[in-house]
Amino acid sequence: MELVSATTTQAGTLVVTLAEPRGLLRLEATRAEVAALCDAMEQAALLARASMRAAWLSDVPAGADSVRIGIGGGRVRLSVG
């Protein structure tokens, strides 16, 4: 997963674009929500290195979306809905 871009909107939210194996993921969220998402992704990355099991770990609100963070095959997985 790679951060492609991050910009601030006039409303003060962040628009973050991430590249992942399935394509680009664009989220608009508050700074606090992006920080919580980063923390959860960091924890998932640590667990992914230690386990080959697949599991969904947490759901993190990101603006109008909810990002489900999981691990599988030694990688972090994201699902937005």
pTM for this predicted structure: 0.79
* Contact (Cβ atoms closer than 8 angstroms) between residue 16 and residue 6: yes
Q: Phi and psi of 41, rounded to 5°?
A: -65, -35
Decide: 8 and 23 in contact? Cβ < 8 Å: no
- pLDDT at 32 (0 to 100): 94
Show the domain range for 53: 2-80
**Which pLDDT tens digit goes with each residue over 45-57?**
988 888 878 899 9
Residue type, 81: G
Is the dihedral angle over the CA atoms 68, 69, 73, 75 positive or is it negative? positive
What is the number of domains present in the chain? Answer: 1
For residues 74 and 9, which has the higher predicted lDDT (pLDDT)? 9
